[in-house]
Amino acid sequence: MRPNLLILGGTTEGRALSAALAEAGVPGTVSMAGRVARPLEQNLPLRIGGFGGVAGLVRYLKDHAITHVIDATHPFAAQMSRNAVAACAETGVPLLAYTRTPWQAQPEDDWSHVPDLAGAVAALDGPSKRVFLAVGRMHLEEFTAQPQHAYVLRLVDAPRTALGFPEATVVVDRGPFTLEGDRALLRDHDIELVVSKNAGGKGAEAKIIAARELGVPVLMIDRPAIPPRTEAHSVDEVMRWLAHGFADLGV
Ligand code: NAP
């Protein structure tokens, strides 16, 4: 039986994995939600858009004879990851999550933790500050409930409609980001607080290191819970898991 992978992507990790799979000649498709206007090129064929919940994903896995699912989505893409766990359990398609370990506070860090985005919004209740709000575009509206701050927002695409903040500066850029660039960003905008999801990995870590160096506090949003699943933390580990799975397929 020929392998046919579905890689749930939209991340630096997913892109690196698709490059390694293409180089190894492993057939598969990368899936993205369609949140950004110009998705980065992938080395494997790309499909874009939601599947339609667990039922839609089950249908997709069956219709496309998917042999393995690799969930390389962002750690905060919890709905997609939960759906993958449920759909793979229902169909018996093996699932591997390619995950990143969360960032850990170092002694020089000044972090406060909140459990979720709502907690971050609530924690911003206080006097006006210059805040680097590094949470992506999808949840910005929730933060308009704290309009007293001067926000710096980094977005992949320039917003097409008003964001609803009295004072906001938009920086259009996409990761991976450099330490030099993020140090300059925090300095140039006199940032007094960084709000970040605990994404882990290297691509978005620069702002955390820059905040550490400059003594800027970080409001860290802890990760959402995802049901237990088999995990790998590197492209090599994913390849080893697949080699084992391909042997089971008789490849
Ligand atoms: P989410 O809340 O977990 O997903 C909501 C819905 O979007 C899913 O139920 C699914 O729709 C669809 N979806 C999500 N990821 C998809 C994928 N890779 N392929 C096809 N459909 C997908 O996800 P999110 O937080 O909005 O993130 C969306 C995408 O952006 C993910 O691919 C993620 O890797 C990437 N991303 C997210 C963040 C973040 O902070 N959340 C940061 C960087 C990149 P259906 O139920 O219709 O299938």
179-232 pLDDT, tens digit per residue, is 999 999 999 999 999 999 999 988 899 999 999 999 999 999 999 999 999 999
Task: Indicate whether residue 119 lines ligand 1 (CB < 6 A).
Answer: no
CATH number 3.40.50.720 given to 5-100+225-248:
yes
Distance 214 CA to ligand 1 centre (A): 33
Please state the pTM of the whole predicted model. Answer: 0.92
pLDDT for 163? 93
In ligand 1, the atom with minimum distance to the C-alpha of 56 is 48
| Lateral strand order in the sheet of 193-197 | 111-114, 218-221, 193-197, 130-134, 150-155, 168-172
* Residue 250 predicted with pLDDT over 80: no
77 pLDDT band, cuts 50/70/90, is very high
- The residue whose C-alpha atom lies closest to atom 15 belonging to ligand 1 is 33
- The residue whose C-alpha atom lies closest to atom 8 belonging to ligand 1 is 80
Distance 110 CA to ligand 1 centre (A): 30
In ligand 1, the atom with minimum distance to the C-alpha of 78 is 3
Question: The domain 111-221 is classified under which CATH number: 2.60.40.10, 3.40.50.970, 3.40.50.410, 3.40.50.720?
Answer: 3.40.50.720
113-143 pLDDT, tens digit per residue, is 999 999 999 999 999 999 999 998 989 999 9
Distance 37 CA to ligand 1 centre (A): 14
* Residue 35 predicted with pLDDT over 80: yes
In ligand 1, the atom with minimum distance to the C-alpha of 74 is 34
User: How does the average pLDDT of the chain come out, rounded?
Assistant: 95
Distance 105 CA to ligand 1 centre (A): 27
94-103 pLDDT, tens digit per residue, is 999 999 999 9
2 pLDDT band, cuts 50/70/90, is confident
Distance 12 CA to ligand 1 centre (A): 14
CATH topology of 5-100+225-248 equal to that of 111-221? yes
Q: Where are the domains of the chain?
A: 5-100+225-248, 111-221
